Every structure is written in structure tokens, then in C-alpha cells.
Amino acid sequence: MNRRNLLSSLLVFLTPIFLFGQSISGIISDGDKPLVGANVVVEGTQLGDVSSEDGSYLIDVPVGTHDVTASFIGYSSVTKTVTVSDNNMGVDFML
């Protein structure tokens, strides 16, 4: 493989790391207890997660500003605008 092909291949494989090298994470609760199985989505994308037993979630996202919505049956949904730069963001939701 020549140098040009090698560089092109590396660029293709490393692009997702640069685009999705950041994350949004946090806890979803009702104020008293974590909500297990709550949905968290990045609006306008197919990115999202479901909260685990301790109410935590983690979504890999591209750098930029995103509207993130947490929802759970029986609770009102909450949307927060998050600006992700080169640091991972901690975003907790209380429904």
C-alpha cells in the first residue's frame, strides 16, 4: 500500500473519533431516586441512551450545540441545550 492510500485509509478510520470524540453523561432522577430505563435523546439525531440501574447514561456526540431530552413514562420530559466542546459534558436531569 502506498503512502497516499495509507493516509486516506487512516483518515477514513479516524474521522469518527474526531466527530464523536466527546460525550454527554449524567444521572436521571425524580429528585428522590434514580429513574431506571429513562430515555435520553439528542434531538434531530439518532443518538441516545437508556438510563441504567443507577440512573446514569452516556451518549457519544459530535462537538457542537445540541438539544438533549430526557423522558420517562409518567413524568414530564425535560430538554436542555448543551454545548459540547473538547471536554465531556455532565448533564443531569430531574424529571
Predicted confidence band of residue 82 (pLDDT cuts 50, 70, 90): very high
pLDDT of residue 89: 76
Q: Which residues contact 68 (CB under 8 A, 6 or more apart)?
A: 24, 40, 41, 42, 43, 59, 79, 80, 81, 82, 91
In angstroms, rounded to a whole number, what is the distance separating the alpha carbons of residues 91 and 25?
6
Helix (H) or strand (E) holding 14: helix 3-19
pLDDT in tens, 7-66: 455 444 544 544 556 889 999 999 999 999 999 999 999 999 999 999 999 999 988 899
Please give the order of strands across the beta sheet that includes 78-84: 48-50, 39-42, 64-71, 78-84
pLDDT of residue 1: 53
Q: Which candidate, 40, 83, 34, places its Cα nearest to that of 59? A: 40
Mean pLDDT, residues 79-85 taken together: 92
Query: What is the pTM (predicted TM-score) of this model?
Result: 0.77
